[in-house]
A and B are shown apart, each in its own frame.
Chain A
Amino acid sequence: MSSALAVRIAAEHAAASASLPAQVVSTERRRDAIETLVSEGLPSSRDENWKYANLRPLEKVRFVALAGGTQGGNAALTSADLPAPIGGYARYTFVDGVFAAALSAPLAKAGITVTSLRTLPDPLHFAPSTSKDSRFALLNDAFATDSASIRVSTGTDWSMGPAGGPTCIELVFVATVEAQAGSSYPRVEVQVEQFARLGLIERHVSLGTGANFVNASVQVDIARDATVNHYRVQESGAKATWLDTLSAVLAQGATYKLHAVNAGGLSSRSTINVLLAGQHASASISVASLGDRQQTQDVFVRVEHSAPHARSEQTFRGISAGRARVAFNGMVVVREGAHGTDSQQSLRGLLAGPEAEIDVRPQLQIDTDDVRCAHGATAGKLDDDMLFYLLSRGIDPETAQRLLKWAFLEDVVARIEVPELRRQIERSLAGQMHEADALKELL
């Protein structure tokens, strides 16, 4: 990106810095972030790992959050504007990046604390990211107005809640403002201590159809033998630009299961970094992306094995229709000494229109012997054999194609272990595919 953009960002930041809450991100850290952005610039389509992303909308963004991120959010917003709640999950809603207590139903469970960092002087602090692909996390550092800070203490388990009460957490981020008026910076910091287990849903939605600019930063730290099941759903408005940087670090024996569904936004880019830092850690990353019209759905995943005997799995299913571009760039890095690594990738893209684009790219960088890395990547049209099989049973061609497209995504969606959430996502995806009626029996 042109440095002119970074200079403008720095100027906007300087003008707003006095009003940015230091409890969320310290003034020094914000300044450091801006300095790095000015010296390195923002990612651009000339960067190898960013060539599929659509970053043009950045030119028109006002980077400061609305009114410098003062408490409040959109007063007109009610719980009816939000997705239906999920049983067993306590909801925390953030409007334009700021916690909205009125739209939240906090968790009453020993061992888990969820706090809005604006209200607590004792924040959890993750180190800023140094990866070049995480520069949008620095932009979040610079402008963040609030943060959901989740701490799960040693041994706390999702199955040990008060009778009938929720034991898991749902974060809902709602964007309401136009990008020309201000930006939204969802921010999540999760620390899960030894032997603890956390179920987390993270949703991103828009109110209305404004051209929001959302730039999320999520950091997840999973201690020894702890487990996190993390569901992410991006259903931003049709004109929104949604950027996201997620970093997860796994200690010995830790398990991280990430399920991400990208369906909304005009221009969406998710950057996911997972570090398997401890032996026998295990990460499974499943991503479903659906692009139509002029949408860009770009996902970049980098999984790094730095300890022996860890396993990782990446599964991607993407459908591109209309004039959309759907991309998945899945990188696996196996460091020296990470022997016994077991890494698998199954990446599949489906072209559902003559003007659509699919880019599926597996990358392996292996610096040690004794590893098992299996990867498969395909991009193509619907399978002719499957199609003929359905036709031969009397299914008409249009329905057969719908069914197969649906089945293709279901491969990933069916892995979502929260039935209510899965049904919501299925309905939403069917709606996106304009096929809710045709598929109603499957929903």
Chain B
Amino acid sequence: MLEIENLHVSVDGKSILNGLNLQVNKGEVHAIMGPNGSGKSTLAYALAGRPGYEIKGGKVTFEGRDLLALAPEERAHEGMFLGFQYPVEIPGVNNVYLLKAAINAARKHHGLPEVDAFEFLTLVRDKMKMMHMDESFLSRGVNEGFSGGEKKRNEILQMLMLEPRLAILDETDSGLDIDALKVVSNGVNTLRSPERSIVLVTHYQRLLDYIVPDFVHVLVRGRIARSGDKTLALELERRGYDWIIEEAA
């Protein structure tokens, strides 16, 4: 699904990722953890193609294609989804319009006709119910005036509608209370399938109680310093990051 080899990324001339390697196979859930400033969000943005995240070296293959050669919208068409840590508010563009436009953009790319309006609405309503979102959210501006938790739920709603093959969720758990965390995790779990992969970027082990990962990686200074299974996250919870940072030094 996703192969990252020796990836180097700079932001504002500062080197953030320094030779990162990662392989994510179909159906797997990977958690990327690590201290502040270790490059977790940079990895997410670089994979999604955000301008300003300069690729200095390395190779990323997504479903056999050179990911880094694709424009951000093409990455989305190919089935990649980035769940933002800070979803952007766009007053004046309403949620339902964005959802539909996003789905149709991917369908057009794959030579499919536009989605049927009735089926689309039925589907949105179902997914919103799952995310415990009121229907009034549909007619509001994208994330406009949403609380932190509402924004995160809206990200997951978009993900459920777009059904990506690879979802990269950047600190989707931050700013969520325990009830919202359950709702969001439940949303993510419904998307788990042998055909799909998920990369969770997170600070805390708490999220991994609800979305149980197959692999846990610890990022230190822009490289993966240690990988393991879900027990690594529990160990981090107990011991903190210092011992890994020391080992990596």
Contact = CB atoms under 8 A, between A and B. Distances in A.
Contacts, number: 81
Nearest to B142: A389
Given A384-B51, A395-B105, A407 B88 contact: no
Contact of A393 (B49, B92, B141, B158): B158
Given A384-B51, A404-B93, A441-B97, A395 B88 contact: no
Given A391-B71, A392-B82, A393-B102, A386 B76 contact: no
B88 A385 contact: yes
Contact of A396 (B91, B100, B105): B105
Contacts of B19: none
B20 interface: no
B106 interface: yes
Contacts of A404: 90, 93
A393 B77 contact: no
A394 interface: yes
Given A384-B51, A385-B88, A389-B88, A394 B93 contact: no
B115 interface: no
A389 B92 contact: no
Pick from B87, B100, B102 the residue with the most CB of A within 10 Å. B102
Contacts of A389: 84, 87-88, 90, 142
Interface string B130-148: 0000000000011000000
A408 B92 contact: yes
Contacts of A406: 92-93
A406 B93 CA distance: 8
Nearest to A442: B97
A410 B92 contact: yes
Interface string A372-406: 00000000000111101111111111010001101
A389 B102 CA distance: 11
B93 A403 contact: yes
Contacts of B109: 394
Interface in A387-443: 388-397, 399, 403-404, 406-411, 414, 441-442
Nearest to A391: B72
Contact of B92 (A394, A396, A411): A411
B106 A394 contact: yes
Contacts of B93: 390, 403-404, 406-407
B68 to A, nearest CB: 15
B141 A407 contact: yes
A180 to B, nearest CB: 41
Which range holds the interface residue count of chain A? Answer: 20 to 34
Interface string B150-186: 0000000010001000000000000000000000000
B209 interface: no
Nearest to B48: A392
A394 B90 contact: no
Contacts of A385: 88
A52 to B, nearest CB: 26
B123 interface: no
Pick from B71, B77, B92 the residue with the most CB of A within 10 Å. B92
Pick from B49, B88, B97 the residue with the most CB of A within 10 Å. B88
Given A388-B72, A407-B93, A407-B141, A393 B98 contact: yes
B69 interface: no
Nearest to B83: A392
A403 B109 CA distance: 19
B98 A390 contact: yes
Contacts of B90: 386, 389-390, 404, 407
A114 B123 CA distance: 52
Contact of B76 (A393, A407, A408): A393
Interface in A159-190: none
A408 B93 CA distance: 9
A406 B49 CA distance: 25
A299 B116 CA distance: 44
B50 interface: yes
Nearest to A439: B97
B73 interface: yes
Contact of A386 (B48, B51, B88, B106): B88
Interface in A89-148: none
A420 B165 CA distance: 43
Nearest to B50: A388
Interface in B76-115: 76-77, 81-82, 84, 87-88, 90-94, 97-98, 100-102, 105-106, 109
Nearest to A387: B51
Given A391-B72, A393-B98, A393-B102, A407 B48 contact: no
Contacts of A397: 71, 73
A403 B92 CA distance: 9
A315 to B, nearest CB: 12
Nearest to B77: A394
A269 B141 CA distance: 32
B102 A395 contact: yes
Interface string A346-385: 0000000000000000000000000000000000000111
A290 to B, nearest CB: 14
A91 to B, nearest CB: 30
A409 B93 CA distance: 11
Interface of B: 48-51, 71-73, 75-77, 81-82, 84, 87-88, 90-94, 97-98, 100-102, 105-106, 109, 141-142, 158, 162
Given A396-B105, A404-B90, 8 more contacts: A384-B51, A391-B49, A392-B84, A393-B76, A395-B105, A399-B101, A399-B105, A407-B92
24 contacts: A384-B51, A385-B88, A388-B88, A389-B84, A389-B142, A390-B90, A391-B49, A391-B71, A392-B48, A392-B72, A392-B73, A392-B76, A392-B84, A393-B76, A394-B109, A395-B98, A396-B73, A399-B105, A404-B93, A406-B92, A407-B92, A410-B91, A441-B100, A442-B94
> What 8 pairs across the A-B complex have the smallest Cβ distances?
A407-B92, A394-B76, A410-B92, A394-B105, A391-B72, A393-B102, A389-B88, A407-B93
